[in-house]
Amino acid sequence: MKFNLIKNKYELNKHFEIRKKIIDFYDPKNNQDFIYINNLSHIYINMKFLNCTYNSKTEKIVNNLLEKLNKKINKNSNKNININNSKSIKLKTDINFNTLKVAELKNLLKKKKLSVSGKKSELIQRLKTNSH
């Protein structure tokens, strides 16, 4: 990577690593491209992990970016990024559920349409047994 990507003070390491991989995969040619891809990587993280919504134009741009990424991945299957059918990036990273807060665990369970009741250890076990 030719550009200086800086981790934000409160950014999770996992999210920073995902953003790095996205930017590295696109290999921006100039500073303007870098800023553009960097901003879109932030938006992607916000949409994927924080359930933020944006105006339809912005979401369409991010989805188009992910479609292009998917096409590149299909050509270069040895890359460390995989796009699933819902057009969202799924990096090959192991999630350490123990480091997540209960609210984060419940969000993951809601996305998988699983029960959100129980102690943290029960939530983690439910996520581990239902992970694909």
Whole-structure pTM value: 0.54
pLDDT of residue 91: 39
One domain, residues 37 and 100: no
pLDDT of residue 79: 44
One domain, residues 57 and 14: yes
SS (H, E, C) the chain: CCCCCCCCCCCCHHHHHHHHHHHHHHCCCCHHHHHHHHHHHHHHHHHHHCCCCCCHHHHHHHHHHHHHHHHHHHHCCCCCEEECCCCCEEECCCCCHHHCCHHHHHHHHHHCCCCCCCCHHHHHHHHHHCCC
Residue 47 is part of which domain span? 1-93
pLDDT of residue 75: 64
pLDDT of residue 76: 59
- Averages of pLDDT over each 10 residues, the chain, 132 residues: 81 89 86 91 87 87 80 58 41 64 88 90 87 60
One domain, residues 4 and 53: yes
One domain, residues 87 and 100: no
pLDDT of residue 49: 84
Number of domains in the chain: 2
One domain, residues 102 and 82: no
One domain, residues 112 and 48: no
One domain, residues 77 and 115: no
